[in-house]
Structures are given as C-alpha cells and as structure tokens.
A and B are shown apart, each in its own frame.
Chain A
Amino acid sequence: MRVDLDAVASFSQTGDEGGQRAADSLEGLTGIPATCELTRTTLVDADGLSVFLGTTSERVTVSFDGALAGRAVLSFDEAFADHVADELGVDADLALPEVANILTSGFVDAWAADDEETIDIQPPERIGSEQDVVQEAAILDDCAFVFESRVVLSGTRGTCRFAVLPDVDSFESYVAESDAEFSLADLAAHIRVASVSADAVASHLEAMTGVEATLVESHVDFVPVERVPSLLDDAAYEGAIFESEGVIDSVVAILFDEAESGAVASLLLDDPEAGSAMAESAVTELGNITASGFLDEWANALETTIDISTPSHVRDAGTAVLDTVAAAYGERADTIAVVNASIELGPDVTCRVCTFPSPEDADQLGDIADGLVDDEDAVDAVDAVFGDDDSDDDGAGEDA
C-alpha cells in the first residue's frame, strides 16, 4: 500500500498557494494586511475532528461545488473578528461572513486553476453547533480529510483557521484526475499510524507518571517544509528530541507544554528541591520511554527493529524547535509528513508528539499501517479461538 507522497505533497502546495491567494484577496479587497502562515493537508482521526477544528464561537461555513466540492469551515479568533469589524466599520456578525466569502473565493481559485471546470461557492452561513460540522464532514475508514490554511492579520496576530473538508467522491475524482497513483482508501489508512502511536504515547505517559493521560486528538500532516514551524506556537516547550534509525529513519519531538515551568519534572521527582540537571534528566527519560513505546509499535508492524539515538533535551519556543527540524530536512524535500499526537497529562501539562519520517522513508508509513491491520487481524484470530476476555483490547501490542 504505497502512496505517492509527492502527489499528496502537491495538494499541500496547491493549498499553500490557495491560502496565500486567500490572504492576498483579503488584503486587496479590505486593505487589511494578512499572511498565510500554515497550510497542510491533514488526515484526522474522525473521533478527534471536532477538537482538531477548534472551539471558537465565531465560525462560518461556505459550501462549494464544481472542480472540487465540499465546504470550508472558517474559525475566527477574537482578535481577528474584532479587527476586521473595526476596519470594515460594521459588526462582526456582518463582517465575518463577508470575509469568509473573500477568503473562500481566493482559496478555491488555486484549486480550479488547472481545471477546465470552475468552482462555485454558496453564500456563507453561521455554524450553529460543533455537531453540525462533524456530522457533515467526509469520513472514509475513520479518517477525515482536511486542507487547512491559517490566515493571520499582520498587525494584531488575529488568526482565521480556514479548513476545507472536501466531499469524498469529489476528492477521489480530483485525486484520479491528478494522475496520483494511489487511492483515497490507501491514504486514509495512514491515520491508523497516528491513532496507534497516540494510544501508545498515552499509555506510556500514564504508566510513567501515574497521572491520567487523555488523548486529545491525533492526525497526519503533509506540510510544505517552510510551514512546519507553524505546527506549534511560540510558547516555551520542554522535552526531548530523538532520531530513529532502521527501515524508517525519523526525527521524534516529544514536547511538553506546561502551565508552569517544571510541571512535568514534578510529576516524576519525589524531591521538589531536586536540581535542574535532575529535572532535565527526568523529562528526557520520560520522552525516551514514550518515543520507544510507539516506535516499537512501528517496528512490530514492519517485523523489524528501530533504534533510537541519545536524546537532546530542549526548552525553547515550539516554533524554533520545529524550525530546526524543518531546516535539517529542507535540503532534501519540499514537503514532509508529520505524525502528530496531542495528549493531556492531568490538568497542567499537554504533551505534543511530532514525528517526522525522513522524506526518503515516508512511504513506509503505508506499510506500517498495513502491518498494524495484520496485528489486529492476528489478535482477532486468537480471540476467536481462545475467547476474548478483554473486549477493549485493540490488539496493537500495548506491551511492546
């Protein structure tokens, strides 16, 4: 089940162009300076789609049809909504649908550029409830497809998350017409890698700290290399960075967003007066065990071994950490895949796991997804013969 990742990457490049056109349209028509800071083609675990799309109250949807059919979901933060309302001299209730219209028109222009058919957009509508978005989203094999661009106002840092949810049939036709040599089902299978990895991360974090770990969401991004830093924010993250080596080489970032500095170390150390060196060591060790946990799942799926390097401890801005990883890969690829998981560890800590398979090895993700199915099938077969006392066991090898 090899997926041509260059073909997937081309969607991210088109999306990036669309995001920039959307920002340019906004600036051109309203005079409000804006840039596109992040564009990604994302496979989202269907259960986590609502969380992935965010919970802002200012949301507008725009349906479109033609060369590509689907709907855009635009989520505006307060700074964005207030600023455009001020600049346009009307209430946000009136300004945001107009802005949604402008952004969507700009975005779909890029997708229709190489197609004889145009894309027609419908009038913007306010979103009534979170459930409406998720229920109408296109899901294939527990995977939702999202093209996301993040348009940021230059002056205020106000942000609009611009998520396009294509219709499955329409996207399948679009993929077929682009000569990409993969099926949508093959691409959707990649979400299993993210889901299983996230489950493994959560169980290892919980076992190590004794604190309840809650999976927030997991997804796979295909993102232009210069957009990688925008996957995190400028807040300080503490954690560890590893390289894995084997049939799939990768860089793994295990990063903790702490409500207070030292919150992770305090979960691990009995002595609150322990020095900073000991705290760093404890955080690094937690990262080490967490990374080993899900890489073992990958190795089992491929029936091989994956070694991991000595970790580097980091405490720095999330964007700066990812900037360094992106630059390291930047001379070898224009777009890279990132397997993401977000896990809450108690009330004060969120763990972000970003795994960057080497661009040369990224197509192994499909083989890992295949292997994970085989593992599940084998467990199901054993259960069928000997009975299944634990019906919640997903069979993905939690003890790996």
Chain B
Amino acid sequence: MTIRVGVADWRVTDDDSLLVTSGLGSCVAVAVHDADAEVGGLLHAMLPEADGPVENPAKYVDSGLDEMLSAMMRLGASPDNLIAKLAGGSSMLDLSIGDSVGARNVAAAERALADAGVELLASETGGDSGRSVSFSPTSGDVTIDRVDTEVLVI
C-alpha cells in the first residue's frame, strides 16, 4: 500500500507500505529506518526550528523529527538501530524573503539527527529543482524523482 505524507506531516509504518511525499521545494524529507524491526518513518517538514511549543510539530524539522521518532519507538523501533536519509532543501527561486530556508532546513535536519543519535547514511539536497520522494521501509531505499530528470535512488 502507498501511504501519502502531506506537507508538515509525518507517517510511520511497520509493514511493506511505501511512504510517499511530493512537492518538495525548499522543504526537506527525512526518512528514518530500523531495518531489524522493519519500522520506517517519513517526515516532510517546511521550516527549520520551532520557536517554542507549536500547534503542528511536523511543520518544523526539529519538533517533527522528535514526534516521528517517538511514534517509531511505539512501533518497536530501537534508538540504537536507526539510520536516516535526507532529501530536499532546494533553492529554486531567487526570493528576497525566506532567507535561504532550503539550506537552513538541511542544516536543521543534520543537526536534529545528530542530536537524536541517528546516523545520516545518505543525502541528496540543495540544487535548484523540486523533488518527489518515496521511501520503502522494507528495503530502506529512498527514490527521488524530479521533472525532466532521471530517477535517483539513495
């Protein structure tokens, strides 16, 4: 089954479902995986860091990752077995507003994963084009699709 992950959203699964999210511009997708427990989660976060308690933690990389990791533990994942892959954070538009939010999202994801003790195994970030991402918690593969570009698997 395919499970859609919206913007400012995360989903976890312990079966062979595919976690899919699309429309990543400056947002980032963080895929976290426990191969032994066969538990996976995919976060689509819009902004780097929450400034205090927020209504929707998944909007932010740091609070969204915290929340998703907790949900993965409840499904049986072990903190010692987690690895992560990261995609997104592009700078496709030259806007005066937003202050390099794509690059800051990537940096926030790397920092949050390090703080949580999760190894970042692979990443495909930056650039100037959008991405769609699908994550198979069974294989651990993250498949990245772009307009006019060949599919990439990390």
Which A residues are within 8 Å of any B CB, using their own CB?
A: 33, 35, 37, 152, 154-155, 157, 225-227, 229-230, 234, 236, 241, 243, 251, 309-310, 312, 314-332, 358
Contact = CB atoms under 8 A, between A and B. Distances in A.
Given A154-B2, A229-B7, A234-B23, A327 B98 contact: yes
A319 B148 CA distance: 15
Interface stretch (B68-76, B109-117, B118-126, B128-136): B128-136
A80 B92 CA distance: 33
B93 A327 contact: no
Contacts of B46: 225-226, 323, 326-327, 330
B98 A319 contact: no
B25 A320 contact: yes
A172 B22 CA distance: 38
A262 to B, nearest CB: 12
Given A320-B130, A321-B130, A154 B4 contact: yes
Contacts of A328: 26, 93, 95, 97-98, 101
Given A154-B2, A327-B47, A316 B147 contact: yes
B71 to A, nearest CB: 15
Interface string B8-23: 1100000000000011
B98 A314 contact: no
Given A35-B6, A226-B59, A317-B147, 12 more contacts: A155-B2, A230-B7, A243-B95, A316-B25, A316-B129, A318-B23, A320-B90, A321-B25, A321-B130, A324-B26, A324-B98, A331-B98
Contact of B130 (A317, A330, A332): A317
Contacts of B77: none
Number of chain B interface residues as a range = 35 or more
A49 to B, nearest CB: 27
Contacts of A243: 95-97
Nearest to B96: A243
A151 to B, nearest CB: 11
B6 A316 contact: no
Interface of B: 1-4, 6-9, 22-27, 46-47, 56, 59, 90, 92-98, 101-102, 105, 129-132, 147-148
Contacts of A316: 25, 92, 129-130, 147
B22 A234 contact: yes
B7 A321 contact: no
B75 to A, nearest CB: 16
Nearest to A235: B147
A327 B2 contact: no
A212 B10 CA distance: 44
Nearest to B97: A328
27 contacts: A35-B9, A154-B2, A154-B3, A225-B46, A226-B7, A226-B8, A241-B95, A243-B97, A309-B96, A312-B93, A316-B92, A316-B129, A317-B130, A319-B23, A320-B22, A320-B24, A321-B93, A321-B130, A323-B7, A323-B27, A323-B130, A324-B92, A324-B93, A325-B95, A327-B26, A328-B98, A328-B101
B22 A317 contact: yes
Contact of A236 (B22, B105, B147): B147
Contacts of A326: 7, 46
A157 B95 contact: no
B119 to A, nearest CB: 27
A154 B1 contact: yes
Given A236-B148, A320-B131, A329-B98, A314 B93 contact: yes
- Which of B6, B7, B101 counts the most chain A CB atoms within 10 A? B7
B92 A321 contact: yes
A375 to B, nearest CB: 30
A33 B130 CA distance: 27
Nearest to A241: B93
Given A154-B4, A312-B94, A324-B93, A330 B129 contact: no
Nearest to B9: A35
Contacts of B105: 327
Contact of A234 (B56, B132, B148): B132
B148 A327 contact: no
B4 A320 contact: no
B25 A324 contact: yes
A33 B147 CA distance: 28
- Which of B22, B23, B105 counts the most chain A CB atoms within 10 A? B23
Contacts of A225: 46
B23 A325 contact: no
A371 to B, nearest CB: 25
Contacts of A35: 4, 6, 9
Given A35-B6, A323-B130, A315 B56 contact: no
A251 B23 contact: no
A319 B132 CA distance: 10
B94 to A, nearest CB: 5
Nearest to B23: A319
A238 to B, nearest CB: 10
A331 to B, nearest CB: 6
